[in-house]
Structure 1
């Protein structure tokens, strides 16, 4: 599923080669038979807007969105396991899934990084890829809702993934539920988290059951940093 490759690239930290691959990305969107006309238009507009801006500005915005706080983290298990010990085993399990599919990680990204997971799904048969998207649909809806609250155009990418999953989840409904949620990316919130983590550094943390985790029973996890080596072909 080339569409998943495209969205994966757009969710990565913006680099200069994104502009160099613009024609290939645009062509993949235009030729897609899996995207609705509305989604294809939105995805094309996202690419146009992203590449029309100064790269340093785009990189700064990306870091502000995805690297400050945990609410909009692209690490999937952050929203399922948090800091519990279950996260490590989930990482190991996900890495095993990648290896069974003939893929190896070769960069510093963690296996549960959303762009990495999307590249893995892109190698699977379409039905299996859609099932994989359905497994993370609650996370996608939550991320989209939070990004919309922050008036970020990146939310469009998560909504398109929900549509590709044929998910009944609606990010706008989730947005209403989190309307009073305190942001965790403010200086005060980040300081509070840092202080709390110092206290808990040697302490054992509980493994509580997140509402999202109830939807993730079939979604395994993994350990080891890096990026998918996609040179072995696969179904795209």
Structure 2
């Protein structure tokens, strides 16, 4: 399914090659047999708007959207297993699935990276490819809703995948799920995640109330009053 190749390409980090080969992408969309006229047009509008941007601006917007926080991560197992140990086994199983179909990964991306998974599906018989899309349809619907909430054009790509999968997802349930979600891409949220990972790291090292932790506390206690004096002009 060539449409999966196009969406895969559009979900990758934008590069100069996308601009250079844009005509080929538009031609494939114009001849699509698996998308309705409206769906093909929607994808074409996304491509047109993306290419209208300066490359550096497009790259910055992409990183801001997909590389900050986990809510819009393109790593599929992030939304299924999170940080649990099950994720590692799922990676191994997916790699084995790729290898059974003669695919050897030479990419730096993890096997559950959505663009990579779509490229894999594109090489399967259409019925199997559609089954693979249907397997991840709940994740696609969740990502689409979160991107719409952020008013991102990238939501159109996930809507295209859902249309190809011919799967009905209860939009009300998805909306309920994300209604009370706090944004995880703000500076405050990212700082909280970093602090949590630091605590987890020391815990895994068996530090507990280690000499390092005790030293950090003593250091903070010694510096804090002096810092207040400087920042407040010496007034308490």
Instruction: Tell me what 1:69 maps to.
Output: 69
Instruction: Tell me what 2:198 maps to.
Output: 198
Instruction: Tell me what 1:78 maps to.
Output: 78
Map 1:218-229 onto structure 2 (within 5 A). none
**CA distance change for structure 1 residues 75 and 19 in 2, over 3 Å: closer, same or farther?**
same
Q: Output the TM-score relative to the length of structure 1.
A: 0.84
Q: Does 1:48 align with 2:74?
A: no
Equivalent-residue separation in structure 1 for 2:102 and 2:166 (angstroms): 27
**CA distance change for structure 1 residues 172 and 70 in 2, over 3 Å: closer, same or farther?**
same
Q: Output the TM-score relative to the length of structure 2.
A: 0.84
Structure 2 residue runs of 5 or longer lacking an equivalent are: 205-236
Equivalent-residue separation in structure 1 for 2:54 and 2:173 (angstroms): 33
Structure 1 residue runs of 5 or longer lacking an equivalent are: 205-236
Larger Rg: 2
Matched residue of 2:62: which SS?
helix
How big is the shift at 1:180?
2.0
Equivalent-residue separation in structure 2 for 1:181 and 1:62 (angstroms): 21
Residue pair 1:29, 1:40 contacting (<8 A) in 2 also? yes
How big is the shift at 1:170?
4.9
Q: Does 1:125 align with 2:125?
A: yes
Q: Does 1:143 align with 2:143?
A: yes
Aligned residue pairs total 204
RMSD: 1.3
Equivalent-residue separation in structure 2 for 1:150 and 1:185 (angstroms): 11
CA deviation map 1:144-185 (0-9, x unaligned) = 100011100000000110111111015575234312210000
Q: Which runs of 4+ in 1 moved over 6 A?
A: none
